[in-house]
Amino acid sequence: DTEVTQTPKHLVMGMTNKKSLKCEQHMGHRAMYWYKQKAKKPPELMFVYSYEKLSINESVPSRFSPECPNSSLLNLHLHALQPEDSALYLCASSQGAEQGRYEQYFGPGTRLTVT
Amino acid sequence: GQNIDQPTEMTATEGAIVQINCTYQTSGFNGLFWYQQHAGEAPTFLSYNVLDGLEEKGRFSSFLSRSKGYSYLLLKELQMKDSASYLCAAPTRDIGYNKLIFGAGTRLAVHP
């Protein structure tokens, strides 16, 4: 089973709203990722958690706040977003480089629209 | 610097064979990935090459030459459903290889 689940599938939010994106995997993977993807562009890395600790923050604005409550769950808290933040947000997981395994498995994504 | 290059768009005919090329420069080589992404959907893992040579998986094959910094994805017996973007990616030594660098993606259109 290589399934990563994400909720919600679609989200429309105003610039003053607070919302959260959720991601879950039950593959025992120890690395989890958030990506942002605009149309016709490759995924753009935002955050990496390794063993439940934040290991990479790609200079993402503070209006995006990641959280890793446990090894299976990853959240992305959104607050005061801008219309240009509208994109497909992808979660991914992998066994992790520490295990010598680098392939990442992606969830279906959340299509976010900021109005 | 670190860079992955692949053609932006390709077209092919149903039933034909198409080869999508990728050249890369990364800090510390630890293999090369190919992902398929249909429009509006998540990338799905196709292949991972770490040793030189061709790896075949059904209609899809992937080739790697580490000395040339070159890979290709070969799709045989093309079907309409193969119309998608194909992403070449490599783990980078930055932060211990947990980060993938992606190419811009090759949009493949398969015509009847």
CB A93 within 8 A of CB A4: yes
B66: tokens are 């580490």
B13-41: average pLDDT: 93
Least confident piece of the model among A21-25, A60-64, A65-69, B90-94: B90-94
Q: How many CA atoms lie within 13 Å of B26's alpha carbon, on the beta-carbon side? A: 28
**Cα distance from A54 to chain B (closest Cα, Å)?**
11
In the 8-state DSSP scheme, what is residue A83? G
B76-98: average pLDDT: 89
Interface test with A, best of B38, B98, B102 (most A CBs within 10 A): B98
Given this model, what pLDDT does residue A34 score? 97
**Residue B74: pLDDT band by 50, 70, 90 thresholds?**
very high
Query: Residue A89 in 3-state DSSP?
Result: strand
Given this model, what pLDDT does residue A1 score? 58
**pLDDT tens figures, A28-45:** 999 999 999 999 999 999
Binary contact (B98, A108; C-beta < 8 A): no
Looking at the partner chain, which of B42, B87, B98 has a beta carbon nearest the beta carbon of A50? B98
Given this model, what pLDDT does residue A54 score? 93
B80-91: average pLDDT: 96
**Residue A102: pLDDT band by 50, 70, 90 thresholds?**
confident
Q: Touching check for B41 and chain A: CB below 8 Å?
A: yes
**Cα distance from B94 to chain A (closest Cα, Å)?**
10
Binary contact (A50, B43; C-beta < 8 A): no
Given this model, what pLDDT does residue A101 score? 76
CB B62 within 8 A of CB B54: yes
Given this model, what pLDDT does residue B109 score? 98
CA distances to A20, A31, A61, A92, B57 from A64, rounded to whole Å, are 10, 19, 6, 17, 39
pLDDT over 80 at A97, yes or no: no
Q: How many CA atoms lie within 13 Å of A45's alpha carbon, on the beta-carbon side? A: 22
Q: Give the residue with greater pLDDT, A84 vs B93.
A: A84
- Under 8 Å CB-to-CB from B58, ≥6 apart: which residues? none
Kindly give the residue spans of alpha helices, DSSP state H, lying in B1-112: none
B93-100: average pLDDT: 75
Q: Touching check for B98 and chain A: CB below 8 Å?
A: yes
Q: What are phi and psi of B108, to 5 degrees?
A: -100, 125
